[in-house]
Amino acid sequence: MKYWILVLAVALCLFLLDLPLLNRTRHKRDWLVYGVILAAGVISTSLAAPQRRTPSLLNFLLWLYGPVNSWLGSWFQ
C-alpha cells in the first residue's frame, strides 16, 4: 500500500510541475498524450515497485503486431 501512495505522490508532483506548460498550449491532444503516458508510468511503476513479476511488454507487442506482420508479409512474397 505504501508503494501506491509514494508513486501517486510523485506522479502528482510531476503533473503539478508540468501543469503550467500544458495550460499554455491548450491542445487537447497534448493533455491526452501526457495523461496516457503518465498513467502508463504510474501503473507499471506500481506493479514493479513491490518486486512483483510483471509480464513482458514484448509479448504484448508481438500479439498486437502479429496480424499486421502476417498481412504485410503476404504483400511481399
How far apart (Å, rounded) are the C-alpha atoms in residues 23 and 6?
26
Residues 27-47 as b/e (b if ≥16 CB within 10 A, e otherwise) read eeeeeeebeeeeeeebeebbe
pLDDT of residue 52: 65
Q: Is the pLDDT of residue 54 over 80?
A: no
Query: In the predicted model, what is the mean pLDDT of residues 14-35?
Result: 78
pLDDT of residue 64: 84
pTM, to two decimals: 0.51
Q: Is the pLDDT of residue 63 over 70?
A: yes
Give the model confidence (pLDDT) of 22-31 as tens digits.
777 777 777 7
Of the two residues 38 and 55, the one the predictor is more confident about is: 38
